[in-house]
Structure 1
Amino acid sequence: MFKKFLIAIAGFIVVVLTLGAVKAAQIQKMMSVSHVPPPSAVTTAEAQAVQWHSYLNAIGTLAPVQGVTLAADADGTITRIVADSGTAVKAGDLLVEIDTSVETAQLAASRARAELSRINFERAKELWDRNATSKSDFDLADATLKQSLAEVAAIEAQIGKKQVRAPFDGRVGIRLINVGQYVARGRALLPLQKLDPIYVNFSVPQRQLPDLARGQEVGIRVDAFADRTFKGTITAINSEVDAATRNISVQATLANPDEVLRAGMFARVEVQKSAAETQVVVPATSIAYASYGNSVFIVEKMKGEDGKEYLGVRQQFVKLGATRGDLVALTEGVKPGEQVVTSGVFKLRNGAPVQVNNVVQPTSSATPQPANT
């Protein structure tokens, strides 16, 4: 029995040793395999040096070249509204008429008196020419005629004050009165604005004053027409700086023949500086944004620990400049001609191996369609 037990023990030991040898061989084989992660597939683009005009960005408000809210110049009841809301009118067009029945009757009587005064004056003049009347009678007839004509002019002026006319070409806004409504002197009747051309008023910090000049080109974008850029020129720069904000007010004029731009609109303004500057630009997708600093990954040949060369990436911190569409200018960190990763940047680390595949590239246009907003 004891002999059989020893044989069993010996067999068990042989099995354990055999299994240990097999496992050791497997571990040794696994240790001999390289554990370098496979290269990450990325796309790349070459950093380019281009000539870009710098821009000043500001927030502005559209304002009419001429705009008023017309008011009543006399008391009375509205009898006629000639120009309804939204109507285009010319200077001098009748817009609103207030009741003038009393003044019209007074005007008829005054004109009758003026006509009689004219007849008396002509008779007196004829007699005076023949020395058949005194100088005082002739002077009295002359003065009476002038007084009658002045009375006619005064009543016509009163009637004119009750006929509200357009002071300039423009477009009527939403009227504030109705026919039959009694209005007091000074009561607002309707707005009138000239929208072509139109102003955009904006402010910039005082330090940017040297970059501004009359005639400088500006680009305007509004939310209502996000796919359009309206061009204009600076026509006025304020003569003083706001003491509270240290900003200076600027006014630009834009053509608005279709009147699509309306007063009061919020506008984003870009003022183009006169001199172009050389900028190193890369696609916006190549930027790895981080709170500790923005960076790009530059593709270049590297050497591994075993001395073999491979294609890897170097993380380079950069300073961002202006943006044009899908492109970003870099003021520091990248030289023209260097290859930067444009997609897959968030899965990379410094020194990581990469495989470049540029069959499909992200868009990188300075003027994409539709435009970036």
Structure 2
Amino acid sequence: MKKRLILSIFGLIVIIAILAGVKAMQIGAMIDQGKKFVPPPETVTSAQVKAESWAADLTAVGTLTAVQGVTVAAELTGKVVKIGFEPGARVKKGDLLVRQDTSSEEAQLPGLTAQVKLNRTELARADKMVADKIISQSDHDKAVAAYDQAVAQVNNVRATIGKKTIRAPFTGRLGIRQVNLGQILREGDPIVSLQTLSPIFVDFTLPQQQMARIHSGLPVRVTCDALPGETVEGRITAINPLVDSDTRTIKLQATVTNRAEKLRPGMFVNVAVGLAARPKVLAIPATAVLYAPYGDSVFVIDTQKDGKKGLTLRQQFVRLGEKRGDFVAVTSGLKEGESIVTTGVFKLRNGQSAVIDNKLSPPFQQSPKPENN
């Protein structure tokens, strides 16, 4: 009985030893296979680092203002008896806008004019009489004063009639009418807005650090959501001599054409000031950059060394500069002509083998215009 038990235990130990040996051989084979395993190359898209000449622009957000713009208002109190314009119409300088009731002044004018004629006659008579020494110089002076006073009264009434006949002070586009027939206008009551729309001013600010690069006459390009796909050109016409002490910015004004009058005062626009210098930059797609807290990097595509065929990836840290559309400038870390990975850099690692396939590479543009889907 004991022998059978011992033989059974011995047989079980032998079986376990055999199974352990087989398993050890399998694990060893897997380890050897893992050591010899070479991961397949990663398919990547690529682009060459190119030196490009970018226009040196200073960008800002501006506000449109009219070259001339006022809200036409009443100068004197009076009732509106005539409205001579249509809202939104274009008027010329001197066109009648509103006429107030001037019946009282016009009724006074004939009598005052007659008084002027009488005083003129009396003055002419006094001139002869003082020359013949018939009257004193004092009486002659009184005749002169009476004539001047009569003329002043006529001019005053005519000025009142002129002020109650409200005309366009300059050529421009009218706004919405704010008066009605029969309405009593008081001094300063608004009548209608009048704006000169072509040309039009663009007011914007730039940091004080750019003052050395800015001067009158520099070209500007204006874009606006109201004019999709259009660019309006103009030039800087005024530079404020005072720098804002709160923001340390300087205010500039450009004049741009607006013949179609699509740009209106109060709208905001994007302004690009064109500078004369066009520096060379090393431009790469922005998607080629792996952004990280410890430094930004790209993956450079190199040929494998030691006589091996194929391509390998090398992680290269770079310093970035200005962004322009889909591209970003590299100030250090890359050389012109080097090939880099343009997409999917977050899944790559240093020293990884790669295969280039640019069939699905997206188009990169300096001024991309995405579709509105």
When normalised by structure 2's length, the TM-score is 0.83
RMSD: 3.4
Match of 1:279 in 2: 281
Match of 1:54 in 2: 56
Matched residue count: 360
Equivalent position SS for 2:358: coil
Percent of residue pairs identical: 46
Counterparts of 1:318 and 1:272, CA distance in 2? 28
Match of 2:252 among 250, 253, 257: 250
Match of 2:46 in 1: 44
1:218-367 correspondence runs (5 A)? 218-302=220-304, 311-367=311-367
Q: What letter matches 1:366 in structure 2?
A: Q
Counterparts of 1:278 and 1:332, CA distance in 2? 13
Change (3 A) 1:326 1:352: same
Counterparts of 1:331 and 1:230, CA distance in 2? 32
- Note the alpha carbon deviations across 1:286-310, whole angstroms, 9 max, x for none: 1222333322221113459xx9565
Change (3 A) 1:328 1:159: same
1:193 maps to 2:195 = yes
5+ residue gaps in structure 2?
A: 129-133
Q: What letter matches 1:206 in structure 2?
A: Q
8 Å contact from structure 1 (residues 71, 190) kept in 2: yes
1:95-244 correspondence runs (5 A)? 95-107=97-109, 109-110=111-112, 151-244=153-246
Change (3 A) 1:291 1:226: farther
- Note the alpha carbon deviations across 1:170-198, whole angstroms, 9 max, x for none: 11223333333322212232221111111
Equivalent position SS for 2:278: strand
Match of 1:78 in 2: 80
Change (3 A) 1:310 1:17: farther
Equivalent position SS for 1:350: coil
Equivalent position SS for 2:275: strand
Match of 1:131 in 2: none
When normalised by structure 1's length, the TM-score is 0.83
8 Å contact from structure 1 (residues 311, 353) kept in 2: yes
Counterparts of 2:370 and 2:167, CA distance in 1? 45
Counterparts of 1:191 and 1:256, CA distance in 2? 19
Counterparts of 1:292 and 1:259, CA distance in 2? 51
Counterparts of 2:92 and 2:370, CA distance in 1? 39
Change (3 A) 1:292 1:176: farther
Counterparts of 1:88 and 1:144, CA distance in 2? 46
Match of 1:9 in 2: 9
Change (3 A) 1:255 1:236: same
Following superposition, the deviation at residue 215 of structure 1 comes to: 1.8
Equivalent position SS for 1:252: strand
Counterparts of 1:346 and 1:65, CA distance in 2? 53
